[in-house]
Amino acid sequence: MVVISLIAAAALASGPSHTELTIYNSGFGLVKEVRELHFKQGRQTLNIEDVASLIEPTSVSIHSITDPNAFTVLEQNYQYDLINPIAILNKSVGQKVRFIRTFGNQRDVLEGTLLSSPTAVVASPDGHNQSTYNGMVIRTDDGRIVLDPTGEVEVKQVPEGLISKPTLMWDIDSAKGGDNTVELSYISQGLSWNADYVVTLDGLGKGDLQGWVTLTNNSGATWENAKLKLLAGDVNRVQPVATINRSMAGAARGGGKSLGFEEESLFEYHLYTLERPANVRNHESKQLSLLEGHDIPLHKKLIVDSISGSYYPSEGEVGTGDIKPQVRLEFINDQASGLGMALPKGKVKVYQRDKSGSVQLLGEDQINHTPRNEKVSLVLGKSFDVVSSRKRTDYTRINDRSVRESFEIEVRNRKETSETVFVLERHYGDWKITEKNHDYEKLDSNTAQFVVELKPNEVQKVVYTVETKW
Amino acid sequence: MVVQILAAAFMASNSAQTELTIYNQGFGLVKEVRHLTLKQGRQAVAIEDVASKIDPTSVGFRCTSDPSAFSVLEQNYQYDLISPQAILNKAVGQKIRFVRTMGMQREILAGTLLSAPTAIVANPQGGQSQTYNGMVIRTDDNRIVLDPTGEIEVDSVPPGLISKPTLVWDLEAAQAGEKIVELSYISQGLNWSADYVVTLNGLGKGDMQGWVTLNNDSGASWENAKLKLLAGDVNRVMDRMRLPEGRAMFKSGGIGGGGGFQEETLFEYHLYTLQRPATVRNRETKQVSLLEGHDIPIRKKLIVDSIAGRYYPQEGEVGTGDIKPQVRLEFVNDEQSGLGMALPKGKVKVYQRDQSGSVQLLGEDQIDHTPKNEKVSLVVGKSFDVVSSRKRTNFTRISDRSVRESFEIELRNRKETPESVYVMERHYGDWTITEKNRPFEKLDSNTAQFVVDLKPNEVKKIIYTVETKW
């Protein structure tokens, strides 16, 4: 009772005068608001209602900027017992209720005492609780019991303790009265960002890269003129957020140029600060330019990998037949290439201009967080005009624990330009190539790589024999 | 019999002094002191304003002013709630009226209810089934009307139905007079947990604040209750959904003048008592400060653990490819570090200030109950700028029951600061590392740890050969 009146007496805090928003790529945001508050001396209650509805109540923190010792927080409460018809009726048992209904063209009022709450939680002897739906029963003033009365329901007052909006409430002890600037910070779900890249090839082995930030706000709150920061990195959270967002943005250092965002290293991550204030409205997607790089040398790579993806080949027809080479585009994220900046996780779309000058999409891939000086390798699609056929030409059992196999991979270039094809042959167990017509490189314990240079319209064969022990 | 007693019973007066002990397994023990005026002899006492998530088998009731003032003959938890359905089911054979409108006129169909809307019927196999019957009435002029429509009125609420779940005691009092009784019961829907905030200064030290977060979804509100929190893993026969949290150390003297928590050891647990009364409302999350530590030395650790989490690796492509190092923060919970207190289970959020001075979240992890002098290790996230690639470069079969493998782990520091990386290599069976390019430490029978110090922008490789027998 005492507290209720305290609430009534509590001043609602003014809106934020300044807001900073740090958005993480895993689907949440850290909100920091500066508010001007007037305190009186002694113990008092402070209420703030206009926070994001997807707030995490345990993440809330408040402190005074003007004077860190201005007040002490005795308690911090997040109240969510919201006003709604069921909540009011459940707390109005024993109170007067009125049902207003029309009867012909007359208004009819049925008034009585509510005997049953529409829903109730009932404990069972085994310790469980269940919620039951009961419906309403009233006793009229003349003693009649009416079941499930119809009509518009009116009550005399909102029962104590019910509130209109989820509310943050602090119990504060202030050393002295006066105006105070306080910073309120909390984590809200429903905020996310991701990076999108566009690579435009010039057809001559170089390309331009543009990075964009796409920002989504479904947190339930709108921030005007907020300072916007984006954090790129894999941040651990105890409860994974429902929506896993891919993305992040990058900033530039070195050859590339960041646009509008200031980048800094923070701990093991990267933080991007938008240099101008931004409005972030509820239910809004916003795109901002993040970085660009020009004349990046890009290498196209054709890869024939017959059993990539099948984890452990079984004896038989695995990886034979016609195989379309995978087309990869590779570049180094360094200053020499016109980049050399942290590239946050995101989708990369690759375009090239056709003869008439209009831009065509070549393919799309996803990159992970990529620091500078690392190689980026994008899978764009499959080759149309370079084809390969693979077959096992021989299989001999040497003894109980070893076999000898021979393979033939034919690679055909049906284009008017020269192409280089990387053929990856994968073997498991303890294997050794005993005969071959091309040199190979052993990339790791399961992979041999043959590099085949093809002139226009040329056809070549890779032929080898492998012995495997297990 | 009970019904009549009930009718005669008076409601006990409201809680005078409530004590609330909340356990971190999601329940609370409620102790309320109430004043009762008893008459001599046998009588009923009813209390209906208890938490709706009460565990009815946990109720205790005793007189504190005079232990022999009365004896409890029976203790009942009644939950046969008033609802339209319940009334109709018990109104068979009673008078009932259906009020309906016909054009502009009101018409009343009165009769005797012949069938209950729902009934439980036993079948010859010994089972039971619930049937929905609909209603049948016999009018005063002996017509039988099936499923009549209209707003239903009855003359009285059948005895035994109540508005709210109610505790009823059948007491035998030796003498009349005003008594003080203590009512205690366990309620679900109460929980508390510890939440920690660690703020790094970026120079290897940090401050820690601990909070208690209390959630009340029990259906009851308590004003000015004495609040106690019990930390420890208390066994209950039926485990409730949530596992809870632990203990904390108090800020000495509490926060400000308001009074913080006082700790005591109770059995194998710890009990924390808030030094001032607190109001715990239904559907509220409340946070109270618990402890603080300053200038705690905190070490960052980057860990590359390629097959962490997989119990037993298979031959093949396990643990190869690019691996992002896990970032851990470690500190010792001792007095030398500015702590040295029991840390109850809870979530830890880690923050650091960016260049503009505003605080950014670095990550979050969960700690278990941590006594003093124990080490705390938090997984904060994954590194953006330190990357590693791992591959198996060779696999040779030595004999039927032994193999030789070679591995290469490349570590690349793309930062402008030096970093140390801990590389965990896990092998199963009887393994020996026969060749290596740097020393390792055998942490356990399955784990070799290599520590690699990297200068800014440095790239280093770990190369080793392992022979495994089984």
**Residue B460's pLDDT is what?**
96
Q: Is B296 in the A-facing interface, judged by CB distances under 8 Å? A: no
State how far residue B389 is from chain A, nearest Cα, in angstroms: 11
Q: How far apart are CA A166 and CA A81, in angstroms?
A: 8
Range of the domain at B406: 386-469
Q: What is the DSSP letter of A246?
A: P
- When divided into structural domains, chain B yields a total of 3
> What's the pLDDT tens digit per position in A273-292?
888 888 888 888 888 888 88
Instruction: Check CB contact of A372 with chain B, cutoff 8 Å.
Output: yes
**Cα B74 to Cα B95: distance, rounded to the nearest angstrom:** 34
Q: State the burial class of residue A139 (Cβ atoms within 10 Å of its Cβ: 0-12, 13-18, 19+).
A: middle
- Judge whether B438 and B462 are in contact, CB under 8 Å: yes
Residue B397: strand pairing partners: B403
Collect contacts of A319-324 with beta carbons under 8 A, ≥24 apart. Answer: A319/A390, A320/A390, A320/A391, A320/A392, A321/A389, A321/A390, A321/A391, A322/A387, A322/A388, A322/A389, A323/A387, A323/A388, A323/A389, A323/A390, A324/A382, A324/A383, A324/A387, A324/A388
Give pLDDT tens digits for A342-381: 899 999 999 998 888 888 998 999 998 999 899 999 988 8
How does residue A253 score in pLDDT terms, banded at 50, 70 and 90? very low
User: Mean pLDDT, to the nearest integer, of A432-453?
Assistant: 93
A168 or B52: which leads in pLDDT: A168
* Span A404-438, pLDDT tens digits: 999 999 999 999 999 999 999 988 889 999 999 99
Both B394 and B416 in a single domain? yes
Interface of A with B in 401-420 (CB under 8 A): 401
* pLDDT of amino acid A411: 95
Residues of chain A contacting residue B28, judged by C-beta atoms under 8 Å apart: none
Q: pLDDT over 90 for what percent of chain A?
A: 31
What's the length of chain B?
470
User: Is A321's pLDDT higher than 60?
Assistant: yes
Give contacts of A76 with chain B, Cβ < 8 Å. Answer: 211, 286-288
| CATH code: domain of residue B410 | 2.60.40
Whether residue B352 and residue A266 make contact (CB cut-off 8 A), yes or no, is yes
Interface of B with A in 323-342 (CB under 8 A): 324, 327
The torsion region of residue A2 among left (phi > 0), alpha (psi -120 to 50) and beta comes to alpha
Instruction: Tell me the pLDDT of chain A averaged across its residues.
Output: 84
Cβ-Cβ contacts under 8 Å between A and B: the total is 300
* Closest alpha carbon to B465 in B402, B389, B400, B386: B402
B405 and B459 in a single domain? The answer is: yes
Q: Is position B418 within any domain? A: yes
Provide the 10 A C-beta neighbour count for residue B139.
13
Paired residues of B138 in beta bridges = B112, B144
Tokens of A278: 């931004």
The class that CATH gives domain A2-81+163-188 is mainly beta
Query: Is B264 inside a domain boundary?
Result: no
Most B CBs within 10 Å, among A267, A339, A427, to test the B interface? A267
Amino acid at A154: E
Whether residue B407 sits in one domain with residue B394: yes
Domain presence at residue B104: yes
The residue of chain A nearest to residue B365, with distances taken between CA atoms, is A238
Q: What pLDDT was estimated at residue B317?
A: 44
Q: What is the pLDDT along chain B (470 residues), one digit of tens a residue?
A: 333 333 334 455 555 578 999 988 888 999 988 888 888 888 888 887 788 888 888 888 888 888 788 888 888 888 888 888 888 888 888 899 998 887 778 888 999 998 888 877 777 777 777 777 788 999 988 898 888 888 899 988 888 888 888 888 888 888 888 888 888 999 988 999 899 999 998 888 999 988 888 889 888 888 888 899 888 777 766 443 333 333 333 333 333 334 578 877 777 777 888 888 888 888 888 888 888 888 999 999 999 987 765 544 444 445 567 888 999 999 999 888 888 888 888 899 999 988 888 889 999 999 988 888 899 999 999 999 999 998 889 999 999 889 999 999 999 999 989 999 999 998 888 999 999 999 999 999 989 999 999 999 999 999 999 999 98
Phi (first) and psi of residue A335, to 5 degrees: -65, -35
3-state helix, strand, coil split of chain A in percent (to 5) is 5, 60, 35
* Residues B91 and B60 occupy one common structural domain: no
Same structural domain, B89 and B74: no
Partner A contacted by B84 (CB < 8 A) = yes
Residue B123 covered by a domain: yes
Of the candidates B287, B386, B392, the beta carbon closest to that of A75 is on B287
Residue B253 confidence (pLDDT): 33
CB contact under 8 A, B151 and A147: yes
Domain membership flag for residue B252: no
Q: pLDDT for A177-221, tens place per residue?
A: 888 888 889 999 889 998 999 999 988 889 999 999 898 998 888
The answer to whether B382 contacts A150, with C-beta atoms less than 8 Å apart, is no
A241 vs B28: which has the higher pLDDT: B28
Q: How high is the ipTM of this complex?
A: 0.76
- Inspect the interface and report whether the beta carbons of A401 and B400 lie closer than 8 Å: yes
Residues B100 and B8 in one domain: no
Cα(A402)–Cα(A118) distance, rounded to whole angstroms? 77
| Distance (Å, whole) CA A291 – CA A209 | 8
Are the beta carbons of B360 and A231 separated by less than 8 Å?
yes
pLDDT score of B319: 57
Instruction: Scan for tokens 């003869």, then name that residue.
Output: A355
Contact of A384 with A438, CB cutoff 8 Å: no
Instruction: With beta carbons under 8 A apart, name residues in chain B contacting A137.
Output: 82-84, 87, 157
Q: Tell me the nearest-neighbour CA distance from B113 into chain A, angstroms.
A: 14
- A104 phi and psi angles, rounded to 5 deg: 60, -125
Nearest Cα to Cα of residue A161 among B48, B222, B214, B50: B222
Over 80: is that where the pLDDT of A244 sits? no
CB contact under 8 A, B154 and A76: no
> Which regions of chain A carry the CATH code 2.60.40?
2-81+163-188, 386-469
| Structural tokens at position B421 | 């990386």
Residue B82 to residue A116, Cβ atoms within 8 A: yes
State the fold for domain A386-469: Immunoglobulin-like (2.60.40)
Is residue B181 a part of any domain in this protein? yes
Closest CA to A225 of A261, A278, A274: A278
| Within-domain flag for B443 | yes
Is the same domain home to B75 and B107? no
Query: Mutation test of the interface with chain B: which of A32, A72, A84, A137, choosing the one with the most B Cβ atoms within 10 A?
Result: A137
Q: How far is the alpha carbon of A288 from chain B, nearest alpha carbon, in Å? A: 21
The answer on pLDDT for A295 being more than 50 is: yes
Looking at the structure, do residues B177 and B124 belong to the same domain, yes or no? no
Nearest to B81 among A60, A120, A126 (CB): A120
Q: Which of A3, A79, A135 comes nearest B84 by C-beta?
A: A135
Kindly list the residues from chain B whose CB atom is less than 8 angstroms away from the CB atom of residue A143: 155-156
- Identify the residue among A88, A147, A231 best suited for mutation to test binding to B, counting B beta carbons within 10 A and taking the highest: A147
- Report the first-to-last Cα separation within chain B, whole angstroms: 77
CB contact under 8 A, B324 and A401: no
